[in-house]
């Protein structure tokens, strides 16, 4: 047999003589890889690639199979048929092969061993351009995580986030933020350039380790660290300049168009000509310029390293006299001691901010409704006075708010490993936020008050201490780890405010607030508050894996909060999950096109605590002072009853998912299904007096469910030496249902919420059993009669019995698609993002798309396109005609860049990249308002109010430079 085999080998070798195959081996970034081992499979015949990634190998067999292997990359096999002479190969990074490290609660794991739904976004995948919040880095990147940008205000990013639907009636819907292991961190404290990665714990089995704070999911942020090898010192600079314009503007009549409305409406409307021609939007809006500079230094080695950065941002708002200036400082170090048995690390972030704002709502309202023939100033040089609105130029010039705040966030971590499998960790954190907010309305703003001043300050601090130990061991095919720990959190908040008027001069503004004469006359006012709470926890987790095929995880957290009643201060939260790596089974060995296939199932219980403390106690409130024996005495009375049975809102979630990677990791992704139910929802209920002392009690009664599906796909479509084209897409669907709102003790048939505003004065939403949170509740219009009265389905307008659900303000579907193209040194990224199946109440159209307000106002041009325009003198009404479909698709981000390559090691420039980027470039929608991307949080989502800081379109030019 040996001789026959040897003879056959000689025969094949002779057949292959003269066949040489050559090519280039590169990484997924298109860069050549030197030192890659290229072996002819089944032989010892092989070579290594040269410095430029090239190789040339004379084959011993034909046909043959070449094996390419390189540390940090997934090995690849390629067939070489007879006659083939050129073969170039792209090797996938290990992280693409699902071997990257993912941050989870109190540790990290390989993605391949995850048993829960966890999404991870690295810094090179972040949204490019002038983002104003770290949350915007995730826009369109994670299935099931909806991120909305609802405002272009430089002092308020307007970023909202919701993960897997609504799970509370009164509490926050935002996920828990954990920064470098410290829970409850502030995103305003971090520069986006200092973030290394963001991991999102989506399902209950992953988030349960964080107990009461994990109900809405957990976002784990890891910041950048110092260099870890070679004692290298590096400097990185990222600077960019941006121009912002209003993303979309409501069309109102110009002065000339307004004057011609008599002819346009065939005499139906008679305008009032005040003699001027004023474009109020030109007086209010501007093209806003911003610039940002980030400088980072890092150095060190595996034993000791540090990272320091400074970030400066100056941003103007598109509304005049609105701007913000911010400086972020960060310093962090890591130090290894005692033969690497102990590691010390610390991080400190400090941010200083000064911002200026105006009375935005009033300014925008006046811009839309003020008669365009009104002059800015009257004959005497004073500001013109209008009906129902304030002169917007006066609002901008004579009323100003200045906000100054400072936030410090510091953390330290000690890790000690006495023996290899056992590790002890101690983490301490401190966060301080201090704010001073001052406003001043000059003597010209309102001559009756001769100057008004408001000033308030607030402070909140958080102290955190966490201790935990972990034991991890591997025996043959068995992997086992167990973690146990303790957590202590202390919260303190207080604040003070004051108001005064009648000042001798406007020069000092609100800074010398005591000089207002209203204080002497007894008309000044002041107030204050203070509260505190504590949260203490004991937690544990155990993981087990057999042969990297069968994976199990279980966690437990026992948590106590001072916010709850005496009978329920402690809660138990737990989770269990498992995964089966099908691709590791023997029967999958010959299925070469499947690289990874893993099935996950998990169940987790988490909780929610109320946002305010003391709610379980009997609460008193001060009333108006009364005169007793010649002295004023404040009255005091019960405000809300005590409830010693107040407890956690409890969310239970069952989820299942499938992770996969196919065709040598060219196509990968995941599919997740979940069902989550939140029980014991907190809400105020009316109760009889007596026997109760107050008319309301906060109680755990309601129940809501969310079900959904999430799909994530990643495709490496083209991978050649000079061209790389990748696409990433995601889709999510979620719907909620209100299952219970009452019980035997506390009764509530429904909740009517929201307000249309004057003069309609109707509630906008309803929450009731069997319905959905976010339901609009009003009259379904089917026409208008000759008298100008709305014809509604099922009765008459204004009759409560004929109201019905006319839409819902929460999108049930979100989708996004990102395409990345790299051609040599050029790169192009395009992101599309959309939300679907939801409605928006267009408040401006409802209140102003009619001439009932009279000739002293301006109106939208759409008033002439209204299909009932011949009756538009009718009074405003809350009908379905003004509840529009909000579906939209946005060209959210386009970035074009060029990266210079420096091969000379003596060149001091390590990296250089130039880029241009656009954010919120265009919106495809039928919605007639400014932007369909509006509020989706709370119990009254989907209302596009008349006045709100508009979203912006941003163009950015930037440079990244490394030494």
CA dihedral in degrees (575, 600, 99, 726; nearest 10)?
-120
Helix, strand, coil percentages (3-state) for the chain, rounded to 5, are 10, 50, 35
Number of helices and strands in the chain (H, E): 9, 50
- List domains and CATH numbers for the chain: 2-91 (2.60.40.1120), 97-223 (2.170.130.10)
Query: How far is residue 85 CA from its own chain's centroid?
Result: 51
Closest CA to 804 of 784, 782, 775, 783: 775
pLDDT for 72: 56
Q: Which residue has the higher pLDDT, 579 or 648?
A: 579
Note whether 376 and 393 are within 8 A (CB): yes
What is the enclosing helix (H) or strand (E) of 876? none
Within 10 A of 399 (CB to CB), how many other CB atoms are there? 22
Within 10 A of 829 (CB to CB), how many other CB atoms are there? 20
DSSP string, 221-260: EEE-----STTEEEEEEEEEEEEEEES----B--HHHHHT
pLDDT at 620 over 90: no
Asked if the bond preceding 691 is cis, omega within 30° of 0, the reply is yes
pLDDT at 297 over 50: yes
Round to whole Å and give the CA distance between 680 and 484. 29
Asked if the bond preceding 455 is cis, omega within 30° of 0, the reply is no
pLDDT at 51 over 80: no
Q: Which residue has the higher pLDDT, 168 or 674?
A: 674
Beta strand extents in 358-451 (DSSP E only): 399-419, 422-441
The gap between the terminal CA atoms of the chain, to the nearest Å, is: 62
Percent of the chain with pLDDT over 90: 53
- For 243-269, what is each residue's pLDDT tens digit? 999 999 899 999 999 999 988 888 888
Task: Indicate the pLDDT class of residue 3, thresholds 50, 70 and 90.
Answer: very low
Round to whole Å and give the CA distance between 21 and 62. 11
- For 298-315, what is each residue's pLDDT tens digit? 988 878 889 999 999 999
Contacting residues for 179 by C-beta, under 8 A, at least 6 apart: 185, 186, 189, 190, 221, 223, 409, 411
Note whether 784 and 868 are within 8 A (CB): yes
Round to whole Å and give the CA distance between 349 and 669. 35
Closest CA to 901 of 722, 741, 707: 722
Percent of the chain with pLDDT over 70: 95
- For 727-777, what is each residue's pLDDT tens digit? 999 999 999 999 999 998 999 889 999 999 888 999 999 999 999 999 999
Note whether 781 and 867 are within 8 A (CB): no
DSSP string, 710-732: EEEEEEEEEE-SSEEEEEEEEEE
Contacting residues for 963 by C-beta, under 8 A, at least 6 apart: 234, 235, 236, 908, 909, 910
pLDDT for 93: 65
Contacting residues for 81 by C-beta, under 8 A, at least 6 apart: 63
- For 364-398, what is each residue's pLDDT tens digit? 999 999 999 999 999 988 999 988 889 999 999 99
- For 576-585, what is each residue's pLDDT tens digit? 999 999 999 9
pLDDT for 103: 79
Pairing, β 89-91 against β 20-27: parallel
pLDDT for 871: 58
- For 500-516, what is each residue's pLDDT tens digit? 999 999 998 888 899 99
Q: Provide the 3-class DSSP secondary structure of residue 956.
A: strand
Q: Provide the 3-class DSSP secondary structure of residue 802.
A: helix
Note whether 529 and 494 are within 8 A (CB): yes
- For 830-889, what is each residue's pLDDT tens digit? 999 999 999 999 999 999 988 888 888 999 998 888 777 665 667 789 999 999 999 999
- Partners of 716 in beta bridges: 726
């Amino acid at each position: 047999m040996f001789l026959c085999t040897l003879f056959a080998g000689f025969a094949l070798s002779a057949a292959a003589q003269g066949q040489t195959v050559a090519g280039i081996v590169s990484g997924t970034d298109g860069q050549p890889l030197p030192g890659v081992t290229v072996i002819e499979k089944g032989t010892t015949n092989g070579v290594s690639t040269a410095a430029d990634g090239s190789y040339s190998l004379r084959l011993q067999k034909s046909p043959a199979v070449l094996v390419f292997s390189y540390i940090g990359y997934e090995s690849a096999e390629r067939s070489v048929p007879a006659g083939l002479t050129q073969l170039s190969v792209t090797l996938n990074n290990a992280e693409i092969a699902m071997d990257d490290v993912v941050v989870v609660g109190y540790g990290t794991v390989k993605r391949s061993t995850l048993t829960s739904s966890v999404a991870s976004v690295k810094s090179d995948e972040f949204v490019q351009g002038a983002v104003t919040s770290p949350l915007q880095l995730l826009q369109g990147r994670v299935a099931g995580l909806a991120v909305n940008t609802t405002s272009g205000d430089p002092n308020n990013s307007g970023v909202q986030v919701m993960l897997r639907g609504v799970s509370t009636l009164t509490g926050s819907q935002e996920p828990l933020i954990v920064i470098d292991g410290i829970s409850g961190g502030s995103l305003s404290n971090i520069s986006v350039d200092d973030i290394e990665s963001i991991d999102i714990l989506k399902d209950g089995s992953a988030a349960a380790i964080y107990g009461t704070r994990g109900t809405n999911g957990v976002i784990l942020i890891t910041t950048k660290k110092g260099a870890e090898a070679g004692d290298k010192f590096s400097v990185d600079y990222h600077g960019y300049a941006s121009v912002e314009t209003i993303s979309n503007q409501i069309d109102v009549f110009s002065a000339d168009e307004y004057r011609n409305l008599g002819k346009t409406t065939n005499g139906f409307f008679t305008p009032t000509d005040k003699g001027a021609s004023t474009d109020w939007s030109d007086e209010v809006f501007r093209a806003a310029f911003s610039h940002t500079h980030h400088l980072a230094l890092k150095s060190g080695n595996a034993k000791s390293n540090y990272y320091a950065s400074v970030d400066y941002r100056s941003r103007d708002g598109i509304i005049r006299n609105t701007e913000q200036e911010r400086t972020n400082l960060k310093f962090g170090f890591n130090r290894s001691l005692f033969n690497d048995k102990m590691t010390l690390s610390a991080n400190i972030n400090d941010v200083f901010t000064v911002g200026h704002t105006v009375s935005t709502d009033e300014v925008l309202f006046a811009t839309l409704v003020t008669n365009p023939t009104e002059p800015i100033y009257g004959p005497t040089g004073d500001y013109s006075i209008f009906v129902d609105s304030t002169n917007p130029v006066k609002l901008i010039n004579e009323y100003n708010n200045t906000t100054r705040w400072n936030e410090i966030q510091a953390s330290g971590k000690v890790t000690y490993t006495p023996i290899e499998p056992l590790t002890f960790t101690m983490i301490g954190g401190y966060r301080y936020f201090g704010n001073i907010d001052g406003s001043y309305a000059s003597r010209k703003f309102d001559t009756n008050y001769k100057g008004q001043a408001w000033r308030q300050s607030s402070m909140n601090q958080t102290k955190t201490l966490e201790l935990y130990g972990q034991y991890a061991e591997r025996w043959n095919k068995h992997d086992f780890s167990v973690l146990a720990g303790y957590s202590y959190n202390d919260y303190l908040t207080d604040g003070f405010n004051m108001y005064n008027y009648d000042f001798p001069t406007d020069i000092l503004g609100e800074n010398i607030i005591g000089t207002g004469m209203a204080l002497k006359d007894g008309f000044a006012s002041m107030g204050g508050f203070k509260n505190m709470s504590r949260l203490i926890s004991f937690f544990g987790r155990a993981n087990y894996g057999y042969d990297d095929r069968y994976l199990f995880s279980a966690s437990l957290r026992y948590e106590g909060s001072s916010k709850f009643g005496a009978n329920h201060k402690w809660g138990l939260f737990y989770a269990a999950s498992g995964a089966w790596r099908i691709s590791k089974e023997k029967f999958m060995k010959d299925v070469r096109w499947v690289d990874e296939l893993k099935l996950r199932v998990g169940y987790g219980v988490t909780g929610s605590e109320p946002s305010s403390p003391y709610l379980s106690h009997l609460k008193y409130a001060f009333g108006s002072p009364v005169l007793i024996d010649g002295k004023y005495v404040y009255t005091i009375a019960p405000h809300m009853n005590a409830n010693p049975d107040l407890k956690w809102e409890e969310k239970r979630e069952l989820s299942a998912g499938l992770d996969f990677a196919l065709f040598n990791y060219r196509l990968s992704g995941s599919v997740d299904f979940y069902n989550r139910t939140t029980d014991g929802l907190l809400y105020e209920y009316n109760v009889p007096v007596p026997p109760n002392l107050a008319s309301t009690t906060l109680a755990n009664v309601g129940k809501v469910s969310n079900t959904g599906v999430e799909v994530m796909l990643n495709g490496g479509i083209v991978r050649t030496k000079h061209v790389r084209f990748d696409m990433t897409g995601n889709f999510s669907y979620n719907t909620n249902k209100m299952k219970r709102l009452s019980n035997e003790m506390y009764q509530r048939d429904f909740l009517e919420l929201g307000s249309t505003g004057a003069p309609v004065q109707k509630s906008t939403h309803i929450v009731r059993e069997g319905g959905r949170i976010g339901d609009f509740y009003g009259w379904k219009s089917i026409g208008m009669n000759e008298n100008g009265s709305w014809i509604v389905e099922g009765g008459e307008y204004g009759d409560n019995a004929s109201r019905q659900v006319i839409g819902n303000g929460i999108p049930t579907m979100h989708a996004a698609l990102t395409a990345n193209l790299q051609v040599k040194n050029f790169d192009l990224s395009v992101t599309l993002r959309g939300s679907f199946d939801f409605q928006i109440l267009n408040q401006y159209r409802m209140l102003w798309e009619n001439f009932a307000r009279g000739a002293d106002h301006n109106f939208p041009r759409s008033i002439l396109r209204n299909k009932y325009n011949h009756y538009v003198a009718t009074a405003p009404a809350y009908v379905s005609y003004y509840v529009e479909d909000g579906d939209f698709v946005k060209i959210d981000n386009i970035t074009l860049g060029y990266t210079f390559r420096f091969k000379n090691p003596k060149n001091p420039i390590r990296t250089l990249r130039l880029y241009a980027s656009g954010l919120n470039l265009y919106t495809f929608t039928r919605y007639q308002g400014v932007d369909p991307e509006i509020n989706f949080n709370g119990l009254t989502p989907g209302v596009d109010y008349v006045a709100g800081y508009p979203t912006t379109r941003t163009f950015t030019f930037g440079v990244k430079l490394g030494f």
